Amino acid sequence: MSSGTTLSGGKSEQDSKDPIVTYEVRADRVAVVTIDDSAETLNTIGPRFGEELTQTLSKLAEDGEVVAIVVRSGKKDSFVVGANIDFLSAIRVASEASTLAGELAKRLGALRKGKPIVAAVHGAALGGGFELALAARAIVASDHKKTVFGLPEVQLGLLPAANGMLRVAERAGLATALDLALTGKNLRPAKAKKLGLVDEVCPEAVLVEVAAELAKKLSRQKIIPKKATKLDAAGITKLLLEENPIGKKILFSKAREATRKKTRGHYPATERILDVLELYAKKGFAAAAELEAKHFGELVVSESSRQLRSIFFATTALKKDSGVDDTKAVARPVTKIGMLGAGLMGGGIAYITSQAGIAVRLKDKDDAGVGRGLKYVREIVDERVKRRSVTREERDQQLALVSGTTDYSGMKNAEVVIEAVFEDIALKHSVLTDVEKATSASTIFASNTSSLPITRIAEAASRPQNVVGMHYFSPVHKMPLLEVVRAKLTSDETVVTAVALGKKQGKTVIVVNDGVGFYTTRILAPYLNEAAYLVSEGIPIESIDKALLDWGFPVGAIKLIDEVGIDVGAHVGKITLDAFGDRMRPPPGLEKLVKDGRAGKKNKKGFYLYDGDKKTAGKKVDPSVYTLLGVTPDKTLKAEEIQMRCALTFVNEAVRCLEEGILRSPRDGDIGAIFGLGFPPFRGGPFRYVDTVSAREIVKRLRGYEAKFGERFTPAKLLVEMGDHDKTFY
Ligand code: NAI
């Protein structure tokens, strides 16, 4: 047995002298190469890593004793999670990034030649990490739930630049390559094997052994393992679409059409991914690889990628943020929660909590309510089993964590109780008093109210330091944000415990100070109001929603009112009007819709028509809305006017939240708006948007509207001050 390390003389980007790549040659002449960047918790691909890997592998290539190589990670539960993107920010010229990408691709490409290399993957192999594994002759994966494969570069406005996309296409076909590269989604090992991306799946304990056996076999056979080609329905479709020129054309034109419908041209990375894969289909690997490096360079310096990367850095920073400043407060461990209200929100919160391995005692008024909540959880997990995202055993383990009740039994030892009962202050007070009686003195009471100030809810508490807001978004299992609301008397310990719980539930968490509508509900209110004003002016609903979709919002504002519920909107509208006065006054007429029994999507009566099947429901405007409101929708307004009026009220209110100390930082404001409300990610959030356009220009536009429409456009003081001094938020 022999072992060694290859030290690059270059300066480390991780400021560590320890080698990242080491190896050991086993008695059976298989070299096991271990990647372990001791300076970081996760392995990422940086320049030093590339150099060390190349040096190690060329040393092993020359070593006559070695017959085959296994590459594994030294990290506990992750393989390699992508390229280190920090250094991309310093790049100003596209060609510089293209060259870097080309070099990395070449280094990885060399892995295919010579002695067989098998990647032994346990934990996440994402982006560059997946590309590294794909460059090996074969991949063996552990069946652990932390093992996932994916190409998430598109989420950063980039494309995978080390030929990973092309290798996915080689192994699993064009449709799979398009799907992975355009969505950035993760694959579990079983699915990856089924698609032909992974050669073997085995338990973690025998991973290196299985990989070594396969490597030795390959060294004897000197052939690349073939994946089985099954002619099932999927196989036939693949044959028709991918194996002939007309089929390929259809595949790409369909993919382009579907992509453009979603991106509306705002995400150039998706177009470039399509270009590269289309060229691969027409001209093969080498030509596509060249284009890939070129496009990568252009995307690195693009505005959209710059903004998307800033979101990535902000979420990474939030993961490390305890939620309070300058304190040593430590989060209490949470092993069990009580969940009051098994409705839409309660069911969703029970699901994400049990998914985090935390027990949930779910309470509703009666058995029917509890049953609905339990069914809601079960349906989401069943769907995931169907999609092979979890195994049956994992489902059973998760469901065993959720139990139901109609009283407070079994809640005594819950460290946190979250309430999502009806939005009614008297009811919130009464459940708070009950919870204090039924639980221990340290139990935290968290409210998922969307509009009631937490300080007001806490008035009924004998332990107000334990009361906090945990504002989730619907549907809870899909929406990434949690807004933790700190009331006047909430303790630091309560805040950090709520934040830690939210992170465990898989959420990106921002902490805001208490106030009517907190941050998210508050900035949404004037935005939705403005859209309603446009309707009352006779602008057709379709053109309002289309303009906002074109600006980059995921749904139009009027459609969003239907989704939230017109009744809920009107209710919250009253609360914000009371708190903030005339600038939040909704246009007259909304109450007529409520009186007419229009609640929106939930009762299939709203601004849009909801009868018909899934395809048609919610697509056409209900013309009787105009009659009820007494308006004729015959006016036209330029899309830009619609976009500016709505977006600027949103942005202006966000700045007010910072000015008043509701927000802790512009970063939290950007993340809250993007993850909670769908503010266009490629614009970086309201604060980065102001920085891009300039505060001076935003104030000028707001003043223009203020002159026309009055105080709902009066610019925030902070914005004016920043405009006057040409300051930026970042
Ligand atoms: P929902 O009507 O679907 O569920 C409320 C549940 O609470 C019902 O099952 C009801 O039977 C139960 N309930 C009522 N009194 C109870 C009591 N004393 N003990 C136990 N259970 C009781 O309502 P949803 O939509 O889940 O909303 C709940 C809370 O979450 C509200 O405060 C709402 O403002 C807030 N919220 C709602 C969002 C949404 O999009 N629906 C988003 C964010 C917050």
DSSP 279-317: HHHHH-HHHHHHHHHHHHHHHHTSHHHHHHHHHHHHHHH
The closest residue, in CA terms, to atom 12 on ligand 1 is 341
Residue 341, phi-psi category: left (phi > 0), alpha (psi -120 to 50), beta (remainder): left
CA 276, CA 293: separation in Å to the nearest integer? 10
The closest residue, in CA terms, to atom 8 on ligand 1 is 343
Instruction: Using the mean position of ligand 1's atoms as its centre, give its distance from the Cα of residue 343 in Å.
Output: 5
- Cβ contacts of 226 within 8 Å, gap of 6 or more: none
For the residues 458-468, what does the mean pLDDT come to? 98
Instruction: Using the mean position of ligand 1's atoms as its centre, give its distance from the Cα of residue 346 in Å.
Output: 7
- Residue 363 has, within 13 A of its CA and on its CB side, a CA count of 21
Instruction: Using the mean position of ligand 1's atoms as its centre, give its distance from the Cα of residue 377 in Å.
Output: 15
Number of the ligand 1 atom closest to the C-alpha atom of 346? 26
pLDDT score, position 536: 95
Percent over 90 (pLDDT), the chain: 83
Instruction: Using the mean position of ligand 1's atoms as its centre, give its distance from the Cα of residue 341 in Å.
Output: 6
The CB density around residue 314, as the number of other CB atoms within 10 Å, is: 24
Q: What are phi and psi of 78, to 5 degrees?
A: -150, 150
For the residues 242-264, what does the mean pLDDT come to? 89
Band of the pLDDT at 123, cuts 50, 70, 90?
A: very high
**Assigned CATH topology for domain 336-515:** Rossmann fold (3.40.50)
The closest residue, in CA terms, to atom 20 on ligand 1 is 364
Indicate the DSSP class of residue 412. T
Band of the pLDDT at 10, cuts 50, 70, 90?
A: very low
Over the stretch 566-608, which tens digit does the pLDDT of each residue have? Answer: 999 999 999 999 999 999 999 988 889 999 999 999 899 999 9
CA 419, CA 415: separation in Å to the nearest integer? 13
User: SS3 for 448?
Assistant: coil
Distance, first Cα to last Cα, the chain: 54
Q: Which of 47-51, 250-254, 695-699 is most confident?
A: 695-699
653 CB under 6 A from ligand 1? no
Number of the ligand 1 atom closest to the C-alpha atom of 347? 26
- Helix residue spans in 439-540 (DSSP H): 454-457, 492-504, 520-536
Instruction: Using the mean position of ligand 1's atoms as its centre, give its distance from the Cα of residue 423 in Å.
Output: 7
DSSP characters for 186-252? EE-HHHHHHTTS-SEEE-GGGHHHHHHHHHHHHHHH-SPPPPP---SHHHHHHHHHHSSHHHHHHHH
Looking at every residue in the chain, the average pLDDT score rounds to: 93
The closest residue, in CA terms, to atom 10 on ligand 1 is 341
Instruction: Using the mean position of ligand 1's atoms as its centre, give its distance from the Cα of residue 419 in Å.
Output: 8
pLDDT score, position 240: 72
- Cβ contacts of 691 within 8 Å, gap of 6 or more: 684, 728, 729, 730
Contact of 634 with 538, CB cutoff 8 Å: yes
The closest residue, in CA terms, to atom 29 on ligand 1 is 420
Q: Are strands 148-150 and 186-187 parallel, antiparallel or unpaired?
A: antiparallel
423 CB under 6 A from ligand 1? yes
475 CB under 6 A from ligand 1? no
399 CB under 6 A from ligand 1? no
CATH of 521-724, one of 3.40.50.2300, 1.10.287.1080, 1.10.1040.50, 3.40.50.300: 1.10.1040.50
676 CB under 6 A from ligand 1? no
pLDDT score, position 629: 94
Band of the pLDDT at 246, cuts 50, 70, 90?
A: confident
- Residue 687 has, within 13 A of its CA and on its CB side, a CA count of 25
275 CB under 6 A from ligand 1? no
Distances (CA, A) of 675 to 521, 561, 666, 684: 13, 18, 14, 11
345, 454, 474, best to mutate for ligand 1 pocket (most atoms within 8 Å of CB): 345
pLDDT score, position 114: 86
Over the stretch 646-660, which tens digit does the pLDDT of each residue have? Answer: 999 999 999 999 999
Task: Please classify residue 520 by burial: count the beta carbons closer than 10 Å to its beta carbon, then call 0-12 exposed, 13-18 middle and 19+ buried.
Answer: buried
For the residues 128-150, what does the mean pLDDT come to? 95
pLDDT score, position 228: 46
Number of the ligand 1 atom closest to the C-alpha atom of 348? 26
The closest residue, in CA terms, to atom 31 on ligand 1 is 423
359 CB under 6 A from ligand 1? no
Instruction: Using the mean position of ligand 1's atoms as its centre, give its distance from the Cα of residue 151 in Å.
Output: 38
- Domain locations in the chain as residue ranges: 2-227+296-300, 336-515, 521-724
DSSP characters for 461-487? -S-GGGEEEEEE-SSTTT--EEEEEE-
Band of the pLDDT at 612, cuts 50, 70, 90?
A: confident
Instruction: Using the mean position of ligand 1's atoms as its centre, give its distance from the Cα of residue 369 in Å.
Output: 11
365 CB under 6 A from ligand 1? yes
344 CB under 6 A from ligand 1? yes
422, 528, 575, 602, best to mutate for ligand 1 pocket (most atoms within 8 Å of CB): 422
Taking 90 as the threshold, does the pLDDT of residue 12 lie above it? Answer: no
CA 711, CA 730: separation in Å to the nearest integer? 28
Which of the residues 51, 292, 483, 530 is marked catalytic? 483
363 CB under 6 A from ligand 1? yes
449 CB under 6 A from ligand 1? yes
Number of the ligand 1 atom closest to the C-alpha atom of 568? 34
Instruction: Using the mean position of ligand 1's atoms as its centre, give its distance from the Cα of residue 558 in Å.
Output: 23
> In terms of pLDDT, which residue wins out, 88 or 402?
402
CA 625, CA 171: separation in Å to the nearest integer? 53
Percent over 70 (pLDDT), the chain: 96
The closest residue, in CA terms, to atom 14 on ligand 1 is 421
Q: From edge to edge, which strands make up the β-sheet containing 138-142?
A: 2-5, 21-25, 30-35, 68-73, 117-121, 138-142, 200-202
340 CB under 6 A from ligand 1? yes
Instruction: Using the mean position of ligand 1's atoms as its centre, give its distance from the Cα of residue 476 in Å.
Output: 13
- For the record, the structure tokens of 500 come out as 């830690």
> In terms of pLDDT, which residue wins out, 385 or 109?
385
User: SS3 for 77?
Assistant: coil
The closest residue, in CA terms, to atom 1 on ligand 1 is 343
The CB density around residue 228, as the number of other CB atoms within 10 Å, is: 6
Largest Cα–Cα separation, the chain: 87
pLDDT score, position 230: 52
483 as an active site residue: the answer is yes
> In terms of pLDDT, which residue wins out, 512 or 40?
512
Over the stretch 314-343, which tens digit does the pLDDT of each residue have? Answer: 999 999 999 999 778 999 999 999 999 999
Asked: is 2-227+296-300 a CATH 3.90.226.10 domain? The reply is yes
β-bridge partners, 581: none
Over the stretch 77-104, which tens digit does the pLDDT of each residue have? Answer: 999 998 888 878 888 888 888 888 888 8
Contact of 444 with 486, CB cutoff 8 Å: no
Taking 50 as the threshold, does the pLDDT of residue 13 lie above it? Answer: no
Band of the pLDDT at 222, cuts 50, 70, 90?
A: low
For the residues 40-58, what does the mean pLDDT come to? 89
Listed residue (491, 409, 403, 478) closest to 445, CA to CA:
491
Rounded to the nearest 5 degrees, what angle is found at the Cα of 100, between the Cα atoms of 97 and 101? 85
Instruction: Using the mean position of ligand 1's atoms as its centre, give its distance from the Cα of residue 711 in Å.
Output: 34
Task: Please classify residue 539 by burial: count the beta carbons closer than 10 Å to its beta carbon, then call 0-12 exposed, 13-18 middle and 19+ buried.
Answer: buried
